[in-house]
Amino acid sequence: MTGDADVRALLDELDHPLTPQILRLRAALLAGAPELVEGVKWNSPNYRAGGTDRVTLHLRRRDRIQLILHRGVKVRTDPFAFADDTGLLEMVAPDRGVIVLDAETAATREAEVVDLVRRWFDASG
């Protein structure tokens, strides 16, 4: 895994209690979804697929990692349904979901998170 140089620089300077979990999650996302293009958006790691923003890590909270799953920058009103059998995803808008991970959940459910993100990419076209 190489990832984006700007993201590596951002994470090298990151002062966050969950930095080890963030780094593992980043590596898992890049390995599990090779079509991702990594970059920095809103001073956070961001992942694009097919030229469209799909996942942004929200790292402002010190006690958790949030993955914002979206279908691009602009709100979309076309019909969209996404089934989550993991219970990890909270839909906060018709076209956006949030996965919230504490240290334990990030470590124990990493494979489920990566699978959920992959399915989000596939469904959100």
Output the tens digit of pLDDT for each of the chain's 125 residues. Answer: 457 899 999 999 999 999 999 999 999 998 988 888 999 988 899 998 888 889 999 998 999 999 999 887 777 778 888 889 999 999 998 889 999 999 999 989 999 999 999 898 888 76
Residue 36: DSSP 8-state: -
Q: What is the pLDDT of residue 65?
A: 95
Q: What pLDDT is attached to residue 16?
A: 93
pLDDT value of position 125: 67
Helices in the chain by DSSP H: which ranges?
5-12, 19-32, 103-108, 110-124
Contact 13, 23 (CB under 8 A): no
Looking at residue 2, its pLDDT comes to: 56
Angstrom CA distances, 93 to 16, 33, 34, 54, 62, stand at 28, 24, 27, 14, 24
Distance CA 87, CA 32 (A): 20
Q: What is the pTM of this model?
A: 0.89
The CATH code of the domain at 5-124 is 3.90.1150.200
- The confidence score (pLDDT) of residue 100 equals 97
Contact criterion met (CB below 8 Å) for 82 and 97: yes
